[in-house]
Structure 1
Amino acid sequence: MAQPGDVIVLAPGTYEGNFVATASGTASSPITLCGPKDAVLQGGGVKDGYIVHLDGAEYWHLIGFTVTNGQKGVMADGTTGSVIENLTVSDTGDEAIHLRRFSTGNIVRGNTISNTGQRKPKFGEGIYIGTAESNWCDISDCQPDASDDNLIEGNLISGTTSEAVDIKEGTRGGTLRANSFDGATISAADSWVDVKGNDWLIEGNTGVNSPLDGFQTHEIGDGGYGSGNVFRGNTATVNGPGFGFSLTPVRDNVVECSNTVSAAAEGFANVECR
């Protein structure tokens, strides 16, 4: 079993199967799994489970390699202080990277994500944070899945069938920064980013080609979610029939005037910028 401070280096080649980590590192001595892009972790098909699963494993660094051909790419359950960085994640039945079950204080940075939703398009998100309220009793003991304070930064996301990034109700305090989205293949959603959590900063992202809106918020259930989010310095080339920013409802969300919107048939936003 891996120990804190271990570094596992993958040589180039294909490694078939589903890979589960249950041991934890520490903040000062994380466990590192790294390799070049041509080190490929390959699942058994788009209906075949999680290719990489951090199952209660904290303080892991996953760096550099390729994850492909599974139902889900990287699933993080109950992880803290982990870094998912510079991976290539493609050809998944559902979402590519998912942080859930109270996964907090993690970084998802610099990954290249494509060709999701090959099993069910409505589950084909690029990056998914938290858990839908309808699944809280299955995943988080009937409580909001407080997968809080996560940083999603510098990822390149295309070829998704659902949102590039889906931020679920119950999550708080995260940052979505400097990511790039191409929504040309979205068929089971209507925006690049859907924020249902609270107090997120959505900053410096760039998107092109959406079926409706660029960025959205929604209120789900009666828990007061979908509020207090700030959109700042994003560039939205929508090429679609909706808004750059659509807040439903508006609540305490803020769209700053530093955002740039073009080719959105309905205009900049359904609110005045600040």
Structure 2
Amino acid sequence: MSENDDQPTVPGATPEPQPPGHEGPMALPPQDPTLQFGVPPAGFGVPPVGGYEAPPPFGDQYGAPPAATPPADGWRGRLRSASGFQRGLLVGVAFALVIGLGVWLANSGGSSPAASSGPSANPNFTFPNPSPGQVGANPSPSETGKKKKGKSGKTAAGGGPIPAYTPGGPQPAVVAAASLPGVTSADPSVTCPAATVNVSTADQLTQALAAAQPGTVIQLADGTYSGNFSGTAVGTADQPVFLCGGSGAVLDGGSRDTSGGYVFHLDNAAYWRLVGFTVQDGQKGVVLDHTDFTVIQGLTVQHLGDEGIHLREFSDDDLVLNNTVTDTGSLNPKFGEGIYIGTAQSNWCTYTACQQDYSNNNVIRGNTISKTTAENVDIKEGTTGGALIGNSFDGSSFSPKGATGWVNAKGNDYLIKGNTGHNSSQDGFQTHQILSGWGQDNVFEGNTAVVNGPGYGFHFTPVNGNVWTCDNTVQGAGAGNGNIPCAAAP
């Protein structure tokens, strides 16, 4: 689940009452029935053109013809004999036609309807969306012009029309994953270099984090570091910032309720390496906000009020590798996810200035996630192009209000491959659409789903181009392997 997955109800528009005097159409003065726009008057003497047949005489339709005899000199005489109101009406209609034609030409660039590039002329045409700052405006994944505090803007992956799944073809999810080192590398793990700073107390750790710069390597001695800790340094690809320790180095928030806060928080940072230590006893474990190109590796994250690891607020290109996440959600079972990517649409105005949370291209690989009250991994609407590879899931501790599947994919173009799940209260792998345009085109390949529950191994609601391939294995799913047939494996 999310902080709040419920969608607000937008009340329907109510027509405004008409002011007095506008309850119905305006009554016009009687007009000359022989004055017909676009139809030659009787006796005008114009022969039929292109199959046109003149209407029958007035007497055949409406009874006796009008008493007045039409002037013998045609339309000029009719115009001269028209009343002032009729002449004014003609001038007004002509003026409106000229103005309307000018506006149409200005908006269309002077092109004719046949030359336009509308939906009927171009099958790949997509209507433009409102700006992503408008919550509920169905922002498109292609709207990726985000800015990050203290860093230059980046272009996120994803967007554009999504082709149908083709076995072995260039699937967007597969293509996106193939560009991520965390997926393509046989061993993407990092090794801590020699320490530049050694710490053994909470105060020393706080000072070292505040002073960190590219190339800093902080080594934690075994022991308990009580409090909440944060980093904001921006490393580089060549000189990341390291925080390293063994599992005996324990960062402890002191409480699983709101007073426990975020045990470790990276905010507006980049190129960090968090390796080996333990994070426990806070409201949330490890939270990344505005943080890119960071590796969270080999941590033990446990005993938390809400979620274990959260990538949020435009955090891109991060790798969550070989961690153990367990015992989450003791404060609020609905929020007890193991690993959480993005932000629920209902909280975009709280965390991302009412923009969709573009936390894209993140890789979740080789993690062991269990005893979570909500999903083992929750992928939010607004996120695109990440991957879940080779993780181990267990849903034995799901809360009825927290989760009904190990993975809930509400983003787009994720590759979910080679994972193993055991025990669920309902389904194994799920997709959902919380917001129009999201929860689609995700690919599930080579997973093992031992559901031991009443639902499906793969349950897509709605289908939205999501695919599970026939190389997945499903056991113990009471409703069946999937709510749609599997697709040929690539």
Aligned to 2:338: 126
Cα drift, residue 179 of structure 1: 0.3
1:153 aligned residue (365, 388, 405): 365
Aligned to 2:300: 88
**Residue 417 of structure 2 is aligned to residue 203 of structure 1:** yes
AA in 2 matched with 1:70: G
Aligned to 2:431: 217
Aligned to 2:483: 270
SS in structure 2 opposite 1:92?
A: coil
Distance 2:434 2:466 in 1: 15
Aligned to 1:249: 462
Aligned to 2:266: 54
Structure in which a larger fraction of residues adopt helix: 2
SS in structure 2 opposite 1:122?
A: helix
2:223 aligned residue (7, 10, 13): 13
Alignment identity in percent?
Answer: 60
Deviations 1:191-240 (A, max 9, x none): 00000000000000000000000000001122x00011000000000000
Deviations 1:10-49 (A, max 9, x none): 0111100000101111111100000000000000200211
SS in structure 1 opposite 2:265?
A: strand
SS in structure 2 opposite 1:159?
A: strand
1:2 aligned residue (187, 200, 212): 212
Distance 1:100 1:264 in 2: 33
Distance 2:237 2:261 in 1: 29
Tell me whether 134-143 or 93-102 shows the greater mean CA deviation.
134-143
AA in 2 matched with 1:251: N
Distance 2:465 2:451 in 1: 24
Aligned to 2:160: none
Aligned to 1:226: 439
Cα drift, residue 261 of structure 1: 0.2
Tell me whether 20-29 or 197-206 shows the greater mean CA deviation.
20-29
Cα drift, residue 120 of structure 1: 0.3
List alignment gaps of at least 5 residues for structure 1. none
SS in structure 2 opposite 1:5?
A: coil
Q: TM-score normalised to the size of structure 1?
A: 0.99
Cα drift, residue 163 of structure 1: 0.2
**Residue 281 of structure 2 is aligned to residue 66 of structure 1:** no
Tell me whether 21-30 or 154-163 shows the greater mean CA deviation.
21-30
Q: Which has the larger radius of gyration?
A: 2
Cα drift, residue 57 of structure 1: 1.2
SS in structure 2 opposite 1:138?
A: helix
AA in 2 matched with 1:68: Q
Cα drift, residue 137 of structure 1: 0.7
SS in structure 1 opposite 2:385?
A: coil
**Residue 474 of structure 2 is aligned to residue 261 of structure 1:** yes
Aligned to 2:237: 27
Count of aligned pairs? 273
Distance 2:304 2:316 in 1: 24
Runs of 4 or more off by more than 2 Å in structure 1?
none
SS in structure 1 opposite 2:347?
A: helix
Deviations 1:93-143 (A, max 9, x none): 000000000000000000001100010000000000000000001111111
Distance 1:59 1:70 in 2: 24
List alignment gaps of at least 5 residues for structure 2. 1-210
Aligned to 1:36: 246
Distance 1:206 1:109 in 2: 16
Structure in which a larger fraction of residues adopt strand: 1
Aligned to 1:239: 452
SS in structure 1 opposite 2:349?
A: helix
SS in structure 1 opposite 2:255?
A: coil
Distance 1:132 1:240 in 2: 27
Distance 1:225 1:5 in 2: 39
Distance 2:329 2:409 in 1: 20
Q: TM-score normalised to the size of structure 2?
A: 0.55
SS in structure 2 opposite 1:99?
A: strand
Distance 2:466 2:454 in 1: 22
2:374 aligned residue (155, 162, 180): 162
SS in structure 1 opposite 2:225?
A: strand
Distance 2:237 2:360 in 1: 17
Distance 1:228 1:209 in 2: 26
Distance 1:217 1:37 in 2: 34
Distance 2:464 2:375 in 1: 22
**Residue 327 of structure 2 is aligned to residue 115 of structure 1:** yes
The CA RMSD over aligned residues, in Å, is 0.5
Cα drift, residue 269 of structure 1: 0.3
Deviations 1:52-105 (A, max 9, x none): 000111110000000000000000001010000000000000000000000000
